[in-house]
């Protein structure tokens, strides 16, 4: 089993019967969805799932999971998702998969938000390896980009994977990828959040409960819970 498979299987230990589970997006989250589907089938569990993106929705339907849409729920028991960056105090960066609004909604309403990843995700400071993604309304995207640019080092509109158009989220928004020089992550988050046109952004601070990080076939649990 490689490191991603290992954390995906470790996350199964947090799955309880008769619960609603939020499905994440990305290669690590996909492995969890697959492992979850096997567990549900083997143990005949009663589990409903909700998806953080159209990609994880498709996965859920392919595995015949009991899928419910976001507008049908108010609370999620467990949300398991990957991340682009994680710090030792559980600051998390997400958003290479576009759907920041859906991911933030799930993280915020989950009783437990469990982040899974390999050692490459660990950073000293958010923004160290990746730009910070910001989901913005397309109606005046240039205005929003210019406003963010005033506090950013660099801020570009994300292209789609083919490179022939802009990336569009499942709720019809654009994504900016921005780098910042900052000293306080909370202050930066507040600056981004108050910019007109911003729908959501990839900094998940004070939200994750646990991160499971695999390295050399060993899983380390990071938690702030006492």
- Separation between Cα atoms, residue 90 and residue 160, nearest integer Å: 29
For residue 30, the minimal CB distance to ligand 5RP (Å) is: 8
Secondary-structure breakdown of the chain: helix, strand, coil percentages, each rounded to the nearest 5: 35, 30, 35
Based on the shown chain and the rule CB under 6 A, indicate whether residue 97 belongs to the binding site for ligand 5RP. yes
DSSP structure class, residue 202: S
Using CB under 6 A as the binding rule, whether residue 11 contacts ligand 5RP is answered as no
Exactly one of 26, 127, 131, 197 binds ligand 5RP (CB under 6 A); that residue is 26
Residue from the set 10, 20, 95, 136 that interacts with ligand 5RP by CB under 6 A: 95
User: Could you tell me which stretch among 34-42, 75-83, 156-164, 179-187 binds ligand 5RP (CB under 6 A)?
Assistant: 75-83
Listed in sequence order, the DSSP H helices in 64-165 are 100-109, 141-149
Do residues 202 and 133 make contact, with C-beta atoms less than 8 angstroms apart?
yes
- Which residue number, 15 or 106, has a Cβ lying nearer to ligand 5RP? 106
**Minimal distance, residue 26 CB to ligand 5RP, in Å:** 3
Extract long-range pairs of 14-18: CB within 8 Å, 24+ residues apart: 14/78, 14/80, 14/112, 14/114, 14/210, 15/39, 15/45, 15/47, 15/78, 16/77, 16/78, 17/43, 17/45, 17/46, 17/47, 18/46, 18/47
Q: Does 24 bind ligand 5RP (CB under 6 A)?
A: yes
Interface residue with ligand 5RP, options 27, 64, 88, 89 (CB under 6 A):
27
Q: Which stretch binds ligand 5RP (CB under 6 A): 5-13, 38-46, 76-84, 158-166?
A: 76-84
Question: Does 57 contact ligand 5RP by CB under 6 A?
Answer: no
DSSP for 62-82 reads: HTT-EE--GGG-S-EEEEEE-
**94: nearest Cα among 11, 185, 206, 204:** 204
Total of chain residues touching ligand 5RP, rule CB under 6 A: 15
Please report whether residue 85 would count as binding ligand 5RP according to CB under 6 A: no
Of the candidate spans 20-28, 37-45, 67-75, 171-179, the one that interacts with ligand 5RP by CB under 6 A turns out to be: 20-28
State both tokens at 13: 């230990």
What are the residues binding ligand 5RP (CB under 6 A)? 24-29, 81-84, 94-97, 103
């Amino acid at each position: 089993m490689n490191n991603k498979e290992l954390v995906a299987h470790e996350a199964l230990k947090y799955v309880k019967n008769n619960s609603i589970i939020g499905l994440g997006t990305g290669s690590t989250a996909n492995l969890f969805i697959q492992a979850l589907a096997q567990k549900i089938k083997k143990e005949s569990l009663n589990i409903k799932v909700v998806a953080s993106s159209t990609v994880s929705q498709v996965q859920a339907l392919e595995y015949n999971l009991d899928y419910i849409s976001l507008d049908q729920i108010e609370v999620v028991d467990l949300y398991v998702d990957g991340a682009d960056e994680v710090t030792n105090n559980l600051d998390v960066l997400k958003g290479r998969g576009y759907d920041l609004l859906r991911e933030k909604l799930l993280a915020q309403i989950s009783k437990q938000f469990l982040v899974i990843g390999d050692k490459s995700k660990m950073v000293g400071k958010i923004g160290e390896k990746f730009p910070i993604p910001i989901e913005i309304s397309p109606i005046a995207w240039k205005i929003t980009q210019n406003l963010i640019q005033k506090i950013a080092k660099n801020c570009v509109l994300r292209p789609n994977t083919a490179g022939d158009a802009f990336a569009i989220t499942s709720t019809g928004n654009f994504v900016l990828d921005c780098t910042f020089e900052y000293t306080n992550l909370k202050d930066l988050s507040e600056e981004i959040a108050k910019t007109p046109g911003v729908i959501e952004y990839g900094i998940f601070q004070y939200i994750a409960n646990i991160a499971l990080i695999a390295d050399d076939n060993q899983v380390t649990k990071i938690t702030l819970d006492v």
